[in-house]
Structures are given as structure tokens and as C-alpha cells.
């Protein structure tokens, strides 16, 4: 069973729509919207990636599913890693795509993520009309020229206060100190031309996990849509590798 965990500013459908049917031919597939994204949980509490991991575990419990393989894309990668750390008995393996174990190293990167905290605070305390305007100016107007109406409708579902806080949470996240503790089979798809998550960050995650398997794709961060058939097959192969390694370990 695959639990699909989407990236920042996406929704489950926006992230995974192009590969749903192909993955479903091979596995049972469940996808969820993270807090503040799409139809995800709304709360006045600050956004935490750990809460997203707990939400994922709670969803499996509600569905009567004992365990799954989280498939984490971009921000979904840290959620998958935290799900392993906080709910180890529910994680059979990790399928990581276009993601990293740490996102903010340089001073300029840290300042950029910190700036999202201020925008998140503004969205929290300003009237709804101001938040709508903030949403349009920051995100939608930049993308309406390239995105279709359905994609725009998905983004319009977001609670942008929570999404902006999520950006700060991503910037503050690091798993590098405990990656070596990961004891489940792991597969990783590395996007070689990714302008969002540099290859060196993706490779640091891969090299930090003992016996992880990696494949590379000549693609940018939107590979899951732009090169959907190839990505779907890579995920299928990566999950089969996880299952094979898990079976070998228990034989």
C-alpha cells in the first residue's frame, strides 16, 4: 500500500494526478492533503511537519491500515522521514522523490525561509480580504498564464497562512543527524536539473541513509507531471525494490 505525500504549495491531486492511474495498476494507493493545503486540516496552531506525519499515521489508523510505504515528493519527503521516526511500526519502507534531508544551509536561504514566517504572520492577523489579495499577488497571478483552470482551482483551496508557515517549517527542517538510524528499505529518485532542491541536497539525503537505492532522472522539480510516465515507472520500480529488500531481510 502506498501513501502519497505531496509537495509544498501543491495538493495531493495537483502533485499526483498524472500518475494516479499507473500507480493504481500495481498498488493500493491513498493520497492526502497536508495541513493548510487543498482540503487539508485547518487549525490556528502553527504549521509543523511533525503534525503532518502524525496526520498521515492517523489517516492509516482511521482506514484500518496497519502499515504502508510513504511516497514523499519534495516537502512530502520530510513528512515521510518524520513518519518513520514517529511511527516506525507503520512504515514498511520509504520512497523519496525530488527531496532532501535539509533545505536551508546558506545565510541567504535561511533569510528567505525566515521571510515566509513574516508573511505567514501577516496572513494570520489580517482580514480575509487582505489574505485573498496576498494569495493572488504572491502566487496565482504568477501562474495563471501557465496553469489551467483546474490547477488554479486547486491552489485557491489553500489556507495561505498555513502554507507560508509550511515554507518556514521546511527551511528549519533537518534530518541529517538521524538519517543513519533509518532501518527500512529506502528508494530515492533524484531530479538532476532541479532548480528548487539542488542535486547536492538530494544526494546528501541519499548518502545519509544506509543501503538506500537511487535512480536519476534528467528533469526539473515538476518531473512528476512533466515526465509523468517515466516518473511513475521509476516509483513502481523503487517500491518493488523496497518490497524485495524487505522480504529478503525477513527471510
All three cell numbers of 57, joined, read: 499515521
The percent of residues above 70 in pLDDT, for the chain, comes to 82
- 67 — alpha (psi -120 to 50), left (phi > 0) or beta? beta
Quote the pLDDT of residue 230.
98
pLDDT tens for each residue of 99-116? 999 987 655 554 444 444
Position 38 scores a pLDDT of 94
CA distance 188 to 95: 6
Give the pLDDT of residue 125: 47
Average pLDDT of the chain is 86
Q: What is the 3-state secondary structure (H, E, C) of the chain?
A: CEEEECCCCCCHHHHHCCCHHHHHCCCCEEEECCCCCCCCCCCCCCCCHHHHHHHHHHHHHHCCCCCEEEEEECCHHHHHHHHHHHCHHHECCEEEECCCCECCCCHHHHHHHHHHHHHHHHHHHCCHHHHHHHHHHHHHHHHCCCCCHHHHHHHHCCCHHHHHHHHHHHHHCECCCCHHHCCCCEEEEEECCCCCCCHHHHHHHHHHCCCCEEEEECCCCCHHHHCHHHHHHHHHHHHHHHHHHHHHHHC
Q: What is the CATH number of domain 2-103+175-250?
A: 3.40.50.1820
Higher pLDDT, 42 or 109: 42
- pLDDT surpasses 60 at 227: yes
Find where cell 525477513 sits: 250
Neighbours of 67 (CB within 10 A): 14
Q: Which of 142-146, 151-155, 186-190, 200-204 shows the lowest per-residue confidence on average (mean pLDDT)?
A: 142-146
Find, among 20, 168, 189, the residue nearest to 99 by Cα. 189
Residue 117 has pLDDT above 80, yes or no: no
What is the per-residue pLDDT across 179-200, written as a single tens digit (0 to 9) for each? 999 999 999 999 999 988 999 9
Q: Is the pLDDT of residue 141 over 80?
A: no
Strand partners, 5: 32, 72
In 3D space, the residue among 34, 30, 31, 4 whose CA is nearest the CA of residue 157 turns out to be 34
| Section 193-212 average pLDDT | 94
Q: Domain locations in the chain?
A: 2-103+175-250, 108-166
Cα–Cα distance measured from residue 187 to residue 198, given in angstroms and rounded to the nearest whole number: 18
Amino acid at each position: 500500500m502506498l501513501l502519497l505525500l505531496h509537495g509544498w504549495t501543491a495538493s495531493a491531486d495537483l502533485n499526483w494526478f498524472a500518475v494516479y492511474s499507473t500507480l493504481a495498476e500495481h498498488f493500493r494507493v491513498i493520497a492526502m492533503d497536508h495541513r493548510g493545503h487543498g482540503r487539508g486540516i485547518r487549525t490556528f496552531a502553527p504549521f509543523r511537519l511533525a503534525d503532518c506525519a502524525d496526520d498521515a499515521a492517523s489517516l492509516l489508523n482511521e482506514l484500518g491500515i496497519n502499515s504502508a510505504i510513504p511516497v514523499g515528493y519534495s516537502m512530502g519527503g520530510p513528512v515521510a522521514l518524520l513518519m518513520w521516526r514517529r511511527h516506525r511500526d507503520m512504515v514498511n519502507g520509504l520512497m523519496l522523490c525530488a527531496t532532501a534531508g535539509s533545505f536551508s544551509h546558506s545565510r541567504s536561504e535561511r533569510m528567505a525561509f525566515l521571510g515566509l514566517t513574516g508573511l505567514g504572520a501577516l496572513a494570520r492577523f489580517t482580514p480575509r480580504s487582505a489574505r485573498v489579495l496576498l494569495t493572488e499577488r504572491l502566487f496565482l497571478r504568477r501562474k495563471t498564464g501557465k496553469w489551467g483552470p483546474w490547477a488554479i482551482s486547486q491552489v485557491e483551496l489553500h489556507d495561505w497562512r498555513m502554507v507560508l508557515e509550511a515554507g518556514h517549517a521546511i527551511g528549519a527542517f533537518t534530518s541529517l543527524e538521524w538519517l543513519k538510524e533509518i532501518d527500512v528499505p529506502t528508494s530515492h529518485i533524484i531530479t538532476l536539473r532541479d532548480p528548487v532542491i539542488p542535486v547536492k541536497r538530494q544526494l546528501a539525503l541519499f548518502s545519509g541513509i544506509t543501503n538506500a537505492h537511487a535512480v536519476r532522472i534528467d528533469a526539473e522539480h515538476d518531473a512528476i507531471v512533466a515526465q509523468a510516465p517515466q516518473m511513475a515507472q521509476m516509483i513502481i520500480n523503487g517500491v518493488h525494490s523496497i518490497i524485495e529488500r524487505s522480504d529478503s531481510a525477513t527471510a
